[in-house]
Structure 1
Amino acid sequence: MTTGTLTTETKAKNTPSLLVVIVNYRTPDLSIACLRSLAQEVTTLPKLRVALVDNASGDGSVEKIGEAIAQEGWSDWAALLPSPHNGGYSYGNNYAIRPALQQHNPPDYVLLLNSDAQVLPGALQALIDFLDTHPQVGIAGSAMINPDGSEWSTAFRFPSILGEIEQGFRLGPVSKLLAKWSVAQPMGQHPQAIDWLPGASMMVRRQVFESIGLMDEGYFLYYEETDFCLQAKRAGWPCWYVPDSKVMHIAGQSTGVTDRTHVPKRLPQYVFDSRRRYFLKNHGFFYLLATDVVWTLAFSTWRLRRILQRKPDTDPPHLLWDRIRNSALFKLGTGLPNSNTPQATDAIAMEG
């Protein structure tokens, strides 16, 4: 065995293992493009494995993606996991993460990656390098760019009552006064600590799952990564934004909710259910009630000012009424929806 071969094998042995989890729902072409972008990373990350979960699409996604994996020769590092039903984003990710963490040699890191995202060269290595050199950090996320090269916000603060006021009023002096509580957080050109980031490209240290369990499946879609980052921070695992890791992301392809290229659609019910669950779970009923009241008053003021000033209406249809009918007053008896996978149970199972 030559010295060069020995060095290569030693380096590969010491390389952290990474599981990339992609959840597909009726976006087979985008999922295949996502896999294709990962294929170029396999040569530099020999311990990279991909689990693509199809969340019961029922549109031929399983057959189409499976055929692509076979024809492209990706089966050595990519596996297709058809889910028996569509339990939501957390459910889909947990469907792949749970068995991986129960293996004899679980992955060092898990990357949540959207099916409508494509990693740019070196994006995964940048996240791994950052987490390797910052052992106190639990979660690291990428910079998101549009197909035209422009960036969109991926650094956020946790939702709060003051943030709800700022979001509702949309008035310069109010936004300036409450800038420290605005959900969207300014992004710099260097790594920075943030509260949470989207699950479109979010790398999680294995020990975070061991500390707090898997993602809360009581969320169908939206707020699940916000909640997960909050639980991680409370357990001593902060979240950081790493701009050297760049991922192209075409937002909203599965749901249309965050699609920036079309007129806003009416928000689906699960968005309001997830918001209510987040505040109720993490802050209690009276805090939820207060956020509902102040947002309604602030947003009503904005709607009146928009009409008087003849500003364009860029909000989803029926947003005010939908927020009111989903407020704590009207949903008083609903409580927290049951979670299919309680976090405490998962944490205990993995520690055992």
Structure 2
Amino acid sequence: MVEYDHKLFVVIVNYRTADLVIDCMHSLMQPEGVPERTRIVVVDGASGDGSAQKLETAIVENKWQDRIDLLPLETNGGFSYGNNRGIDHLKERYGSAEYVHLLNPDTVARAGSIGTLVAFMDEHPSAGIAGSRLEDPDGTPQACAFRFPTAVAQFEGEFRFGLVSKLLDRWRVVLDTPTEAVRVDWVSGASFLIRSTLLEKIGQLDEEYFLYHEEVDFCLRAAREGWECWHVPQSRVIHLVGQSTGVTERDVAPRRLPAYWFESRRRYFTKNHGRTYTAIADSCWLAGNLLGRVKSVVKREHYPHPPHLLRDFVHHATSKAKQS
């Protein structure tokens, strides 16, 4: 039996969302916020907007220094980079922990939610990863349990047409909201618990991803080594969707997707499935997108996608293909 210095390490990566992180820290510092023997680090990815100073002041004023560290970085290397630096910091300063929890800055942990996730992992030694139920402040569930992306799923996700979607349901990436703990392919990185022995086996997050698809990649690497991934809806975490990036923010007009979204998607497919399969996946996405546009015109529906999506997709797909 391995003896660990701590039960849990928690890493929160901030980029210009200091107020959200302070709310998140408050939720973790409540009596049922985190298990005993937990250390937390807030990593600031070179925000340049005074975030680091604001976070340091909040930690001192609330007397959280004995539980929370602040790690200001000199560069914004993205989600994987920031989380890996946070994990490194905790290991170097505090030794070992049985689990590592990656938590988004735009989350608020409901009472007992983190402890519930840890307890689940304690009871399921074959589980290497577990994710919380993510929800709106009013309790409305969000998509947080998924299948791995495939070429077929790329087509269905863009077309989304009744009978076709029903026929392709077994490939649909987003799963229906589970009510009980269920084994899935991958879970959202917004509340992402990892067993330390898994990290030792497969390594940390791939820093070639700036943002998006890094948790999918990590879960696939884990699955290929025989580890299980579980969605645990009894662990409930409020997720203020899109507040940290603005990309998926609700109740506002869709925004143009940043270049790193396309780059991350392409890296996931080429790294894990090769260039030929990536070309097939791209073709399926394009076919689904074009048919979806035709469907919207015929049915006189509003086309809900981000602006310039098709043009941007083609640009990034062709430019990367040429570089290859």
**Normalising to structure 2: TM-score of the pair?**
0.96
Q: Partners of 1:261 and 1:305 in 2: how far apart?
A: 24
**Structure 1 residue 320: deviation in Å?**
1.1
Q: 1:130 aligns with which of 101, 110, 120?
A: 120
**Structure 1 residue 16: deviation in Å?**
5.9
Q: Partners of 2:70 and 2:321 in 1: how far apart?
A: 41
Q: 1:63 aligns with which of 44, 53, 56?
A: 53
Say if 1:79 and 1:318 are closer, same or farther in 2 by CA, change over 3 A: same
Structure 1 stretches of 4+ moved >4 Å = 13-16, 41-44
Aligned to 1:350: none
Aligned to 1:302: 292
Say if 1:44 and 1:232 are closer, same or farther in 2 by CA, change over 3 A: closer
**Structure 1 residue 43: deviation in Å?**
7.5
Q: Partners of 2:134 and 2:223 in 1: how far apart?
A: 22
Matched, 1:264 2:254: yes
The code of the aligned residue for 1:330 comes to S
CA contact (8 A) 1:164 1:294 kept: yes
Q: 1:241 aligns with which of 231, 237, 240?
A: 231
Question: Who wins on radius of gyration, i.e. which is larger?
Answer: 1
Aligned to 1:19: 9
Say if 1:229 and 1:72 are closer, same or farther in 2 by CA, change over 3 A: same
Q: Partners of 2:33 and 2:107 in 1: how far apart?
A: 20
CA contact (8 A) 1:156 1:197 kept: yes
Q: 2:41 aligns with which of 51, 57, 79?
A: 51
CA contact (8 A) 1:52 1:78 kept: yes
Deviations 1:164-205 (A, max 9, x none): 111122111111111111010122211000111111101100
The code of the aligned residue for 1:56 comes to A
Q: CA RMSD of the aligned region, Å? A: 1.7
Aligned to 1:161: 151
Matched, 1:176 2:158: no
Q: Partners of 2:193 and 2:263 in 1: how far apart?
A: 26
**Structure 1 residue 326: deviation in Å?**
1.5
Say if 1:98 and 1:270 are closer, same or farther in 2 by CA, change over 3 A: same
Q: Partners of 2:32 and 2:137 in 1: how far apart?
A: 23
Aligned to 1:281: 271
Q: 2:282 aligns with which of 276, 282, 292?
A: 292
1:137-148 matched pairs, under 5 angstroms: 137-148=127-138
**Structure 1 residue 98: deviation in Å?**
2.1
Aligned to 2:319: 330
The code of the aligned residue for 1:322 comes to D
The code of the aligned residue for 2:315 comes to R
Aligned to 1:202: 192
CA contact (8 A) 2:45 2:73 kept: yes
Matched, 1:116 2:106: yes
**Structure 1 residue 334: deviation in Å?**
3.3
Deviations 1:315-348 (A, max 9, x none): 1001111111122x4322435xxxxxxxxxxxxx
**Normalising to structure 1: TM-score of the pair?**
0.88
Deviations 1:107-161 (A, max 9, x none): 1100000011010011011111110010000001100110122111100111101
Aligned to 2:306: 316
Q: 1:220 aligns with which of 210, 216, 226?
A: 210
CA contact (8 A) 2:6 2:39 kept: no
The code of the aligned residue for 1:195 comes to D
Q: Which moved more, 1:179-188 or 1:98-107?
A: 98-107
The code of the aligned residue for 1:297 comes to A
> Which blocks of at least 5 consecutive residues in structure 1 are unaligned?
1-12, 336-352
Say if 1:177 and 1:319 are closer, same or farther in 2 by CA, change over 3 A: same
CA contact (8 A) 1:193 1:240 kept: yes
1:85-104 matched pairs, under 5 angstroms: 85-102=75-92
Say if 1:93 and 1:129 are closer, same or farther in 2 by CA, change over 3 A: same
Q: How many residues align?
A: 322
Q: Partners of 2:267 and 2:177 in 1: how far apart?
A: 28
